[in-house]
């Protein structure tokens, strides 16, 4: 319903010679301006919400530019897309056929086997000293080159301070484990009993 006649009558009542038909806009807008507005506004809302969240979480990080410092070769995105050849069926590979997975499983089984072996075959209770003795024995069996490699490996990765520097309080109090119940933790420890509930105590 148009109110235009009302506006026209009102102008007449005001003894105005102002013509109601002048109401056409002389301004122009870019073509298609209104078509993408809703999407643009939603994108802007998301951007601002993300920024506000970051401001609250880390003012330092929110002050940094999000510009990515990497570069791409000139015209990289302008290259025409080449028509792909006939599609080849994607091979489905079981994860157990992956070499690293097999090695990992083998290592875990071997470790568990040695541990159980030690535990069951020793008449004396398994203590830290017996484990250390076993390790020392293994090390003695190595030749000089192997010993050197082992020393390099240990020296490269460990400073001896790692455990002492770990602050796990946050992890339990308000960190990742905050929502894990006591019962779930107990079950987890029972499942890993081979490692954690052994009699390795001093």
- Interface with other proteins by CB under 8 A: which residues? 2-4, 6-7, 11, 14, 16-20, 22-30, 34, 37-42, 44-45, 48
Residue 145 exposed, middle or buried by CB count within 10 Å (0-12, 13-18, 19+): exposed
The least distance separating other proteins from the CB of residue 26, rounded to whole angstroms, comes to 4
The CA-based dihedral angle spanning residues 8, 13, 14, 17, taken in that order and rounded to the nearest 10 degrees? 50
DSSP 149-198: HHHHHHHHH--S-HHHH---HHHHHTSGGGGS-HHHHHHHHHHTHHHHSS
Q: Are 138 and 118 in contact (CB under 8 A)?
A: no
Between 38 and 56, CB nearer to other proteins: 38
CA atoms of 116 and 120, how far apart (whole Å): 6
Q: Please state the closest distance from residue 104 (CB atom) to other proteins, in A.
A: 42
CB of 19 to other proteins, least distance (A): 8
Cβ-based nearer residue to other proteins, 2 or 83: 2
In angstroms, what is the minimal distance from the CB of 39 to other proteins? 8
Minimum CB distance to other proteins, residue 25 (Å):
6
H/E stretch holding 7 reads: helix 4-13
**Smaller CB separation from other proteins, 22 or 81:** 22
Which of 52/138 has CB closer to other proteins?
A: 52
Which residue, 21 or 73, has its beta carbon nearer to other proteins?
21
């Amino acid at each position: 319903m148009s109110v235009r006649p009302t506006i026209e009558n009102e102008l007449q009542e005001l003894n105005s010679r102002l013509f109601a038909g002048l109401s056409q806009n002389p301004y122009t807008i870019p073509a298609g301006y209104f078509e993408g507005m809703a999407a643009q506004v939603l994108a802007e809302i998301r951007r601002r919400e993300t920024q506000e969240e970051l401001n609250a979480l880390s003012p330092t990080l929110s002050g940094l530019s999000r510009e990515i410092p990497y570069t791409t070769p000139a015209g990289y995105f302008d290259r025409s897309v080449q028509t792909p050849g006939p599609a080849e069926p994607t091979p489905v590979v079981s994860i157990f056929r992956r070499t690293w997975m097999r090695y990992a499983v083998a290592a875990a089984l071997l470790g568990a086997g040695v541990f159980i072996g030690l535990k069951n075959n020793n008449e004396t209770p398994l203590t830290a000293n017996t484990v250390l003795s076993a390790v020392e024995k293994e090390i003695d069996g190595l030749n000089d080159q192997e010993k050197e490699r082992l020393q390099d490996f240990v020296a490269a990765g460990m400073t001896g301070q790692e455990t002492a520097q770990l602050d796990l309080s946050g992890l339990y109090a308000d960190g990742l484990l905050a929502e894990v119940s006591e019962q779930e933790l107990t079950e987890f420890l029972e499942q890993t009993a081979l490692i954690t509930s052994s009699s390795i105590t001093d």
